[in-house]
Amino acid sequence: MREDDLPRNVRGQRVCGAKARQSPTGRCRSTALGPSGRCRMHNGWAVSGLQHPGYKKGRFGKYRKPIQAFVDDPTALELRTDAGILNARRDELVEVVGREDAVTLAGIEASWRRVAEAAASRDPARVQAAFTAHGELLVRARREADTWVEIERLTLAKAAIVERETRRLERAASSIPAEAAWALVEALQTAVREHVADPTVRRLVADAIARAMRPVVH
């Protein structure tokens, strides 16, 4: 298309020109254009991958490589890896709190009895040692309690991820590729042309197919 033929507004500014139902003219009048000549709402920045102005500099600059790696990864939207990470971390924490020297209520009660016995002996060194040991035990108990809280959080997070991934796989299994959908449409159209003699009926069937496919092609 020549420069003179490009869509412009009354001020002579380049405009997007893509089809827009909400526009009075039926065409998009936005002047914020990307490399393809379209605006942001009509994939103006999608001509050669991620080319948003902020992608190569500014707030996205330092994330350019990981963003591109994510975009290029065909499994990026899968959640099984995330679930695996959470599961590994949870198993690690369960192993920590499940060791033989894990703090128990019986252990805390026994430690407190030793504190009471030391206090009854009136031996300052023994009392200090008993209180120090009991304090360390309580600190360990607090850490293990926090660990159990994290285990519960990871378990719930994993369950949520598994549920979302299951729904995604179910949707993927129940859908068909665009090529297969168009092949089905063409087969229907061929069957109508071959077996329906009435042109009015053929036109009505064609219109019905077009309406059914409209959400797919837009």
CA atoms within 13 Å, Cβ hemisphere of 183:
5
pLDDT category of residue 113 using cuts at 50, 70 and 90: very high
Q: What is the pLDDT of residues 120-153, one digit of tens each?
A: 999 999 999 999 999 999 999 999 999 999 999 9
Number of domains in the chain: 3
- 15 pLDDT higher than 50: yes
Q: How far apart are CA 137 and CA 144, in angstroms?
A: 11
- For a pLDDT cut of 70, what percent of the chain falls above it? 77
* Range of lowest pLDDT (30-34, 125-129, 180-184): 30-34
Q: How far apart are CA 208 and CA 188, in angstroms?
A: 11
Contact status, residue 90 vs residue 84, Cβ threshold 8 Å = no
- 56 pLDDT higher than 60: no
As a 3-state breakdown, the chain gives helix, strand, coil percent values, each rounded to 5, of: 70, 5, 30
Residues 67, 115: one domain? no
Give pLDDT, residue 214.
Answer: 61
Q: Tell which wins on pLDDT, 3 or 136.
A: 136
Structural domain including 22 reads 1-45
Residue 198 placed within a domain? no
Residues 5, 59: one domain? no
Please give the C-alpha separations between residue 161 and each of 9, 153, 168, 171, in angstroms, as whole numbers. 48, 12, 10, 15
Q: How far apart are CA 135 and CA 112, in angstroms?
A: 10
pLDDT category of residue 218 using cuts at 50, 70 and 90: very low
* Range of lowest pLDDT (13-22, 45-54, 58-67, 147-156): 45-54
Residues 69, 90: one domain? no
Residue 135 placed within a domain? yes
Residues 120, 56: one domain? no
Q: Which of 76, 92, 127 is the last residue of a domain?
A: 76
Residue 200 placed within a domain? no
Q: Which residues pair with 8 in a beta bridge?
A: 14
pLDDT category of residue 10 using cuts at 50, 70 and 90: low
Residue 216 placed within a domain? no
